[in-house]
A = this chain, B = another copy of it.
């Protein structure tokens, strides 16, 4: 049964909540790779890496070719677009807080100049 949009987003976020899985995606952003190749940088058993790949595959974040015998893994970025769209809604909040910090720093600097404490 295909996931609805909210379930899909939950599955994506859940799959991304692990540094090894994010490292695997980063590696795949440089091109497709076999499970053996993907396992190399990690101090981890092959079954442990396979388990992470299954989580990524279920979330639709990677695809595994059924043709070649080495079954290369490939990044599948569509769920990440959904993440980008979701987070975009909140952009004004972090931009606002940077603006406030910026105003605060300008204010401090102005006071220092006024009081002749500028280097």
Contacts and interface: CB of A to CB of B under 8 A. Distances in A.
Contacts of A18: 10
Identical subunits present: 2
Contacts of A77: 90, 93-94, 96-97
Interface of A is mostly: helix
A18 B10 CA distance: 6
A83 B87 contact: yes
A87 B94 CA distance: 16
A118 interface: no
Contacts of A87: 80, 83-84, 87
B19 A10 contact: yes
A17 interface: yes
Interface of A: 6-7, 9-11, 13-14, 16-19, 22, 25-26, 29, 75, 77-78, 80-81, 83-84, 86-91, 93-94, 96-97
